[in-house]
Amino acid sequence: MRELNEINQDLDLCNQKILELLNQHLSLKAEAMNTKKARNLSLLLPEQKISVPKDIPYDEEVQDVLTALESAGKRVGSKCLFDTNIALIGFMGTGKSTISGYLKDMLALKEVDVDAMIVKNENMAIKDIFAKHGEEYFRTCESEAILSLKDCKQSVISCGGGAVIREENVTNLKKTSQIVLLTASPETILSRVKESEERPILNGNMNVDFIKELMAKRADYYYKAADVIIETDHKDVSQICEELLAALTGLKDEV
């Protein structure tokens, strides 16, 4: 049997090699992302995955380490693209929550859904907050939730559809985030949200005319707040995310 200090010396050497390889791996991830950007390739194109052979000892533990490494690689990639948060704004049903979920998975960003924060803080569904306390109370909860995000980093923030009506929310979001406006036609919005009862403003108003009118009332707020605008009609989620990242990266390169 070997002595413990001898084993520890071997472990030290092994750890040094791991550190060197980790640095090399993450630097290659950064190089890959910068190359995709420079050559206008798909920014979300997946890179090779390492598969763990089943017959090695500790295969489950190795898989855990590789999963963490994959996530770290995605974060390195996202840092190459932008160093601010992404705040998604837009009318109900433009896909803010959907796009946010996809970006979170693809770039290992933290995901913050302002509506979900309010539901958690108030321990009540949005439609119940509106019914019990009214819209103004909801808007105050929304402003407090947005203010509390001031230290948030490497995150995708999905805002409620009416968040930009209050100027203070836009000011607070702009301190940490690039603001991306998602748009869709009233017809598209209706087709996406008509089965849901979770949007109190649309309950009893589920028709194109109402959506069109409310959208027109809010248009100035949305367009003024936006750093980037992405139309989402007839596009799938991956296409929208590619466009969004290309536009944000373009913004960064302009600075």
Ligand X SMILES: Nc1ncnc2c1ncn2[C@@H]1O[C@H](COP(=O)(O)OP(=O)(O)OP(=O)(O)O)[C@@H](O)[C@H]1O
Ligand Y SMILES: O=C(O)C1=C[C@@H](O)[C@@H](O)[C@H](O)C1
Which residues would be at the binding site for ligand X (CB under 6 A)? 90, 92-98, 115, 158, 160-161, 192-193, 199, 232, 235-237, 240
Residue type for position 242: E
User: Positive or negative, the Cα torsion across 6, 12, 13, 14?
Assistant: positive
Annotated binding-site residue numbers for ATP:
93-98, 199
Residue nearest to ligand X (CB): 95
Buried b (16+ CB within 10 A) or exposed e, 181-211: bbbbbbebbbebbeeeeebbbbeeeeeeeeb
Part in contact with ligand Y (CB under 6 A); list of ranges 31-39, 53-61, 71-79, 155-163: 155-163
What are 231's strand-pairing partners? 183
Q: Does 95 bind ligand Y (CB under 6 A)?
A: no
Part in contact with ligand Y (CB under 6 A); list of ranges 17-25, 38-46, 167-175, 199-207: 199-207
Which of 145, 240 has the CB closer to ligand X?
A: 240
C-beta neighbour count of 74 within 10 angstroms: 21
The H or E element containing residue 128 is helix 126-133
Among 95, 160, 164, 180, contact with ligand Y (rule: CB under 6 A): 160
Counting residues that bind Mg ion (by CB under 5 A) gives 2
Q: How big, in percent rounded to 5, are the helix, strand and coil portions of the chain? A: 60, 10, 30
Among 77, 95, 162, 186, contact with ligand Y (rule: CB under 6 A): 162
Among 30, 70, 97, 252, contact with Mg ion (rule: CB under 5 A): 97
Which of 70, 101 has the CB closer to ligand Y?
A: 101
Which of 166, 192 has the CB closer to ligand X?
A: 192
Q: Supply the minimum distance, in Å, between the C-beta of residue 95 and Mg ion.
A: 8
Part in contact with Mg ion (CB under 5 A); list of ranges 11-19, 45-53, 93-101, 147-155: 93-101
Residue type for position 128: D
185 vs 93: CA distance, rounded Å: 10
If 0-12 CB within 10 Å is exposed, 13-18 middle and 19+ buried, where does residue 212 land? middle
Using CB under 6 A as the criterion, which residues of the chain lie in contact with ligand Y when the complex forms? Answer: 92, 115, 126, 160-162, 199-201
Enumerate binding residues for Mg ion (CB under 5 A). 96-97
